[in-house]
Amino acid sequence: MRPKRISLTQHLIEENRRYGTVPEELRLLLEVVCRACKTIGNSVGKGALGNILGSNQTENVQGEVQKKLDVLSNEILLESNEWGGYLAAIASEEMETIHPISKTYPHGNYLLLFDPLDGSSNIDVNVSIGTIFSVLAMPEDKTDATEADFLQPGRRQIAAGYALYGPQTLLVLTTGRGTNGFTLDREMGSWVLTHPNMKIPENTSEYAVNTSNQRRWFAPVKRYFDEMQAGKQGPLGRDFNMRWVASMVTDMHRILTRGGIFMYPADERTVEAGGRIRLLYEANPMAMIVEQAGGAATNGLIPMLDVIPEKLHQRVPVFMGSKNEVERITRYHKETR
């Protein structure tokens, strides 16, 4: 007997029937975003054959050099989503300000945010990279979106997800009722539910952190790192392994699959900027996914989803993954205040 295959569309329709959380307009929006991710995945797969490797000789709003594929991915997501009638505006890590939907197209009640291609430093060396996205609702009684409309705490996200372009092309998605994973059937061109109700183990013996910044860390992070390094003989009583890809979406997928803690703390170099990870485009979507999978995510002091955004490209410290270890490092931060 052929095993039952549940498509992304079927999953979203059934979720709405059970919980009423995915109305048709939201479902159609998510389907468009996920189709755009398939297009990006195809471009990633072509590599040098598609003439998309290397620098674009431009900088984004953060002053970072853009890769050709950064720019292409941003364009694919914009062009795929602006005409559908589901959105009021779009915000991207690669754009200085928001992209209001043209008056040429009908407007919807949602706001879309995305990091079009996370892990850009890995593009040219064939390491997994991905797209991170989330959806917010437009404030009621408003028609024309402004930057202020995007400055909502992550707790108000309606949906969040990421696509991972690796040996398989994967999609991980939450609409507030658990976290589910889909694999792209490349022959059929469809997303198939393969990882239902994903759960992050509460305990872990793996961590992901850029240790090249160790000399700049503040006391709570140094304490926690030293305790992990001490292994079985230390206060944590077990050995830890480090895994670091330098692509948040890739490191977080590993943690979502088998546990771990991802840390990108503020340090002496980034503290004035607030941290390293973008709140709206990376930290908030991932925090929603992690919490819905039973994990935890904080900025070192409060849950990430409770942080009040102050600007479109705000950066924050990030600690997320297995619940017990995230709570430990958060406690260390609170003790040093």
One-letter amino acid at 42 equals N
What residues contact residue 167 under an 8 Å CB cut-off, 6+ apart?
A: 128
User: Which residues contribute to the annotated binding site for substrate?
Assistant: 118-121, 210
Residue written as tokens 């198939």?
Answer: 192
User: Which residues contribute to the annotated binding site for Mg(2+)?
Assistant: 93, 115, 117-118, 282
- Interatomic CA distance for residues 42 and 64, integer angstroms: 25
Strand order in the sheet with 318-321: 241-242, 206-208, 261-264, 318-321, 296-298
Sign of the torsion angle spanned by Cα atoms 222, 228, 233, 235: positive
Return the number of other C-beta atoms located less than 10 Å from residue 106's C-beta: 11
191, 182 Cβ separation under 8 angstroms? yes
Task: Give the CA diameter of the chain.
Answer: 66
Residue written as tokens 């206060």?
Answer: 235
What residues contact residue 122 under an 8 Å CB cut-off, 6+ apart?
A: 128, 129, 245, 246, 247, 250
- The 8-class DSSP code of residue 201 comes to -
131, 73 Cβ separation under 8 angstroms? yes
What residues contact residue 52 under an 8 Å CB cut-off, 6+ apart?
A: 43, 44, 46, 68, 69, 72
| DSSP helix/strand/coil, 87 | strand
- Interatomic CA distance for residues 263 and 140, integer angstroms: 36
User: Which residues contribute to the annotated binding site?
Assistant: 93, 115, 117-121, 210, 282
- Interatomic CA distance for residues 106 and 85, integer angstroms: 5
Phi, psi (5° rounding) for residue 93?
Answer: -60, -25
